Structure 1
Amino acid sequence: MNHWLVKSEPFKYSWEKFNKDGRTFWDGVRNYQARNNLREMKEGDLVLFYHSNEGKNVVGVAKVAKEAYQDPTTSDPNWVVVDLVPVETLKNPVTLAQIKAEESLKDISLVKQGRLSVMPLRAEEFDKILEMGS
């Protein structure tokens, strides 16, 4: 199993809306590295949901429900989406400041490549963020 982090601005698509919807396709990715990460996602992979810009915190855990397919919001075949379903809300959101302050997380893409919207995490990084949020 792989582990990921996806970012969304809460005013565009919030964790609360995602939970209400129960399932969504992750669209709007127009960065090649993020797109390639979407293509690598496998059904059952776990995904941290991060609120960017407002909040700047990890708020929940999702799961990949369907692997990459053509983004229905564009006719350009270069862009893909995956389906995600919510799994759980973190008891305590984990802030970007907390992540930056944690030595074991200093090399994750969220810190190193702040603008990347879909990024891989090592299992121990994923688990550390979950621990920080419990």
Structure 2
Amino acid sequence: MNFWLVKSEPDKYGWDHFTAQGRAVWDGVRNYQARNNLSAMKLGDQVLFYHSVTKPGVVGLATVVREAYPDPTSPDDPRWVVVELEPVMKLAKPVMLSQIRADLLLGRMALIKQSRLSVMPVRPDEFELILQLGQ
């Protein structure tokens, strides 16, 4: 199993939108590295849901329920893909970006090193620590 982090602006598509919907097609990604990360996601992989911009932090956990397929928002360009995600649980408390930056282990995450990337891998030790901090 692999671990990932996806970012979304809470005012545009936040955790509450996601859970109300029950399942999301993660579409509209137009960065090659993020696209490659979507392509690498496998059924059952765990995904940290991160609110960006406003009060940035990890707020929930999701799972991959459908692997990559062509992005329906880009029918004329087969380079872009989507995955489908379902919510698993909301964290008891958000793990804020400031906490992540301050932690010696988490400070090396792709989230810090490539802050503009919207879909990124997370190492197992980082994933476990974020879940602990969110309890």
Structure 1: give runs of 5+ residues left out of the alignment: none
Deviation, structure 1 residue 107 = 1.1
Aligned positions of 1:1-134 closer than 5 A: 1-75=1-75, 76-134=77-135
The 4+ residue runs of structure 1 with deviation greater than 6 A are none
Identity %: 60
TM-score, L = length of structure 2: 0.98
The one-letter amino acid of 2:44's match is G
Deviation, structure 1 residue 12 = 1.2
Deviation, structure 1 residue 11 = 1.3
Deviation, structure 1 residue 46 = 0.2
Aligned to 1:77, the other structure's residue is in SS state coil
Q: 1:70, 1:130 → 2: CA distance?
A: 31
The one-letter amino acid of 2:20's match is K
Q: 2:92, 2:10 → 1: CA distance?
A: 18
The one-letter amino acid of 2:121's match is P
Q: 2:114, 2:42 → 1: CA distance?
A: 23
Q: 2:45, 2:122 → 1: CA distance?
A: 11
Q: 1:19, 1:69 → 2: CA distance?
A: 22
Q: Which deviates the most, 104-113 or 59-68?
A: 104-113
Deviation, structure 1 residue 33 = 0.2
TM-score, L = length of structure 1: 0.99
Q: 1:44, 1:100 → 2: CA distance?
A: 28
Q: 2:87, 2:55 → 1: CA distance?
A: 19
The one-letter amino acid of 1:87's match is V
Aligned to 1:4, the other structure's residue is in SS state strand
Structure 2: give runs of 5+ residues left out of the alignment: none
